[in-house]
Structure 1
Amino acid sequence: MTATDAHSPATGPGPAPGTDPDAAAAALHRTARLRRRLAAQLLFELVVPLGSYYGLRALGAGQWLSMVAGGLLTLPWIGYGIVRQRRVEAMAVFALCLVVVGALLSSITGSPRVLMVRDSWLTAAIGCWVLGTLLTRRPFIMTASRGIVIAKVGEAGLVAWEARWDAEPTFRHHLRLVTAVWGAVFLLDAVLRVALAYTIPVDSFPLVSTVLWLALLGGLLTFHNWYLTRNGLKL
């Protein structure tokens, strides 16, 4: 789980009412593209590593080899993301380093549990970064929602939406609070993963940690959409 893209907050599907047919078609195209991207991310960051681990274990491979293979299978996906964006992002490089360093440390210690805590470093880093954006002019939710806002109301709507940040203190408060919740959930995931890594059987960890992340993410998105709707921020 690299978590570099899939955690962008959604503000709801579909174009805004009142748009012209061309704008509506463009918005639907962007929404469909976003959904395909999220589906691919789910496949390569969750399904492939999890399936490869238990598939190799069923074939008789050891725990260490099965876990390393699952991590290595994410490398082409991370590399594809770098090529697609046409720039090297710090989080993608960090994820690549975690896979490589985790495999090396695990080979030295001989313990697959070193690999099990690898993703904790990533989610902890993301959580700290998200919380750190609270000290900047534009918190995480403000920047992460831009693509969704454009898809729903277009560039002109984005300008009006961003103008609310300067004009409405309540708007700033809501976005900062939601950003803080996102950062806290990522840090919680990191702590829980470390606790699981040293308390449950190795063969149970890939499945349990995946279910944990899906539960946390599902709860986070539910809160996100509820809060935006409740406070009139959902487009």
Structure 2
Amino acid sequence: MRNTEGDIVKDTATPDATPTPTPTRAAAEPTNTRAGRLALARGLVLELALPLAGYYLLKGLGASQWTALAVSGLLLAPWIGYGMVKRRRVEAMPVFTLTLLVVGALVSMVTGDPRTLLVRDSWLFGVVGLWVLGTLATRRPFMLSAGRSVVASKVGEESAREWADRWDHEAEFRRHIRLLTAVWGAGFTADAVIRVVLARTLPIDAVPLVTSLQWPAVLGALFGFHYWYVTRHGLKV
């Protein structure tokens, strides 16, 4: 505004129009991503550590191999149940895992063979691996859906739709998605086969430790290849 002498002066009664910076979604996304990774790591550690520690603790207390394997496997049940209660929804994979734990214990109770319990985990990885490979015959392979979820969590739903729409228009994109799906499916299936071989050949007391170390190694190899591949071929967002 101007004063009576024609000079320009600042209107002190009017608040500054410059908006105060506020956190953007882009700034919040790294925090959300870190939180998701921490939750994944925490869940992985618990799911590996609980059965392993439970088995060797029970063995140290004088429990039989069968009892130690059965009880240590069921230690995951409260953790899985807590996860469903916290998310307030029943999910297929946790229910499937709980079912395998119970069925494995019942079958081994009938046979009296602790090695049946050791093979139990391979059922889960084998079914998951075969299911992932089976999606290659569909119009929406596993990695297309999984990748879309990752993109949505990192850059938003609209960008995720644009990323997934490439499937309908880019043959090269479809080839990359199918290859990644095949690698993940083959990785889970191979892990299941290795678990069966280990459970049938190694000393029983050694199997829980070896398989607990095997799974992070397989998962790390899969993630490592995935990261290298998507970075090299421009699929990373």
Q: Deviations over 1:82-132 (max 9, x none)?
A: 334443333222211111111111122221101000011100100011111
Q: Deviations over 1:161-182 (max 9, x none)?
A: 1121111110011011000010
Measure, in 1, the Cα distance between the counterparts of 2:29 and 2:149: 10
2:26 counterpart residue number: 24
1:56 counterpart residue number: 58
Higher radius of gyration, 1 or 2 = 2
Structure 2 portions without partners, runs of 5+:
1-21
Alpha carbons of 1:181 and 1:97: their partners in 2 closer, same or farther (altered >3 Å)?
same
Measure, in 1, the Cα distance between the counterparts of 2:137 and 2:25: 35
**SS of equivalent to 1:145:** helix
Give yes or no for the alignment of 1:224 onto 2:226.
yes
Give yes or no for the alignment of 1:145 onto 2:150.
no
Choose from 88, 94, 97 the match for 2:96: 94
Measure, in 1, the Cα distance between the counterparts of 2:35 and 2:79: 17
**What amino acid is the match of 1:208?**
V
2:40 counterpart residue number: 38
**What amino acid is the match of 2:36?**
L
CA RMSD of aligned residues (A): 1.6
**Moved beyond 6 Å, runs of 4+:** none
Q: Is the 8 A contact 2:148 2:161 kept in 1?
A: no
Q: Deviations over 1:141-170 (max 9, x none)?
A: 111123321232212211221121111110
**SS of equivalent to 1:117:** helix
TM-score, normalised relative to structure 1: 0.86
**SS of equivalent to 1:138:** coil
Measure, in 2, the Cα distance between the counterparts of 1:84 and 1:173: 38
Measure, in 2, the Cα distance between the counterparts of 1:143 and 1:103: 33
| Map 1:124-163 → 2, pairs under 5 A | 124-163=126-165
**SS of equivalent to 1:137:** coil
Measure, in 1, the Cα distance between the counterparts of 2:115 and 2:162: 49
**What amino acid is the match of 1:107?**
M
**What amino acid is the match of 1:126?**
V
2:181 counterpart residue number: 179
2:211 counterpart residue number: 209
Worse-superposed segment, 47-56 or 193-202: 47-56
Q: Deviations over 1:7-52 (max 9, x none)?
A: xxxxxxxxxxxxx941123312321331232123113210111111
**What amino acid is the match of 2:58?**
L
**SS of equivalent to 2:62:** coil
**SS of equivalent to 1:175:** helix
1:120 counterpart residue number: 122
2:18 counterpart residue number: none
Q: Is the 8 A contact 1:28 1:151 kept in 2?
A: no
The number of residues matched between the two structures is: 216
Give the drift of 1:56: 1.6
Q: Is the 8 A contact 2:149 2:160 kept in 1?
A: no
